[in-house]
């Protein structure tokens, strides 16, 4: 499911290179199925927005806030709160708060409930592939980190909210499942930006994850 059409040829090549190197070291490399992988980004979009709305509802700026004393002197507490939220929060945060408020409302709550169910399915997919008593278990998963080279700040500023979410295609399912993961730079691509792979282990098995990441780092350094 990770080998999607949006994945750049360079990232696909790096991903396969790492798999081949691990196989040459005697490890068994195989494909696994994550049936609900494609639900990850929309699931994350809903849950992350809802959490942003819930957490930022208490943001008043009274203690940690935008310094409005020089530019504006609010006459009421409500005006101070509104001013802090208007000028102290960026457009992405505002977008998530507004979307999340809808998802937690009476009319949008069914989206949030469906996202919670999807998160359970995504987590169960990982539980299945890491289950040593399962039909086709693995110890470690190797995936790309991004669809292409890491985006620059200027690139991110040009993207809309949906495009920005899609960049996290390989990251959000791991976070939704609560799994440990580490990014290992392999080589440099367009604009000398690093191309990396993501090493994922099962819950509470960070030791193996770090060991494999170190192994990949070592053999790629020697190869280059």
Domain boundaries, the chain: 1-32+138-224, 35-135
Please tell me the chain's helix, strand, coil percentages from 3-state DSSP, rounded to the nearest 5: 55, 10, 35
- Check residue 30 and give its pLDDT: 92
- Check residue 67 and give its pLDDT: 59
Ordered alpha helix ranges (H), 131-205: 153-158, 161-166, 172-177
- Separation between Cα atoms, residue 43 and residue 47, nearest integer Å: 6
Shortest CA distance to 45 belongs to which of 89, 96, 92? 96
Contact partners, residue 5, CB within 8 Å, separation at least 6: none
- Check residue 160 and give its pLDDT: 72
Shortest CA distance to 145 belongs to which of 1, 30, 2? 2
- Check residue 69 and give its pLDDT: 52
Cβ neighbours around 211 below 10 Å, total? 14
- Check residue 163 and give its pLDDT: 75
Helix (H) or strand (E) holding 110, with range, is: helix 109-130
Check if the beta carbon of residue 118 is closer than 8 Å to that of residue 43.
yes
- Check residue 71 and give its pLDDT: 55
To the nearest 10 degrees (0 to 180), the angle between helices 9-24 and 206-223 is 100
Residues shown for the chain? 224
The distance in angstroms from the start CA to the end CA of the chain is 29
Contact partners, residue 128, CB within 8 Å, separation at least 6: 134
- Check residue 75 and give its pLDDT: 73
- Separation between Cα atoms, residue 48 and residue 141, nearest integer Å: 24
Residue 104, CB half-sphere, CA atoms under 13 Å: how many? 16
- Separation between Cα atoms, residue 207 and residue 89, nearest integer Å: 38
pTM (2 decimals)?
A: 0.83
- Separation between Cα atoms, residue 140 and residue 177, nearest integer Å: 15
- Separation between Cα atoms, residue 9 and residue 203, nearest integer Å: 31
Report the Cα 11 to chain-centroid distance in Å: 17
Residue ranges in the chain whose pLDDT is less than 70: 1, 61-74, 161, 224
- Check residue 89 and give its pLDDT: 79
């Amino acid at each position: 499911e990770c080998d999607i059409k949006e994945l750049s040829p360079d990232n696909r090549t790096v991903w396969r290179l790492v798999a081949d190197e691990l196989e040459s070291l005697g490890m068994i490399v195989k494909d696994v199925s994550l049936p609900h992988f494609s639900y990850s980004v929309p699931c994350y979009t809903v849950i992350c927005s809802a959490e942003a709305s819930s957490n930022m509802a208490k943001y008043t700026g009274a203690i940690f806030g935008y310094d409005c004393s020089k530019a504006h002197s609010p006459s009421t507490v409500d005006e101070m709160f509104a001013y802090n939220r208007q000028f102290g929060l960026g457009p992405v945060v505002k977008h998530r708060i507004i979307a999340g408020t809808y998802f937690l409302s009476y009319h949008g709550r069914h989206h949030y409930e469906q996202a919670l169910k999807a998160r359970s399915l995504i987590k169960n997919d990982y539980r299945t592939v890491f289950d040593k008593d399962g039909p086709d278990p693995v110890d470690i998963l190797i995936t790309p980190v991004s669809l292409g080279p890491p985006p620059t700040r200027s690139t991110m500023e040009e993207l809309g909210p949906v495009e920005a979410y899609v960049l996290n295609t390989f990251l959000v399912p791991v976070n939704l499942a609560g799994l440990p993961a580490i990014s290992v730079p392999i080589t440099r691509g367009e604009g000398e930006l690093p191309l990396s792979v993501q090493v994922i282990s099962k819950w509470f098995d960070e030791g193996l994850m770090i060991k494999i990441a170190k192994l990949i780092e070592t053999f790629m350094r020697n190869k280059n």
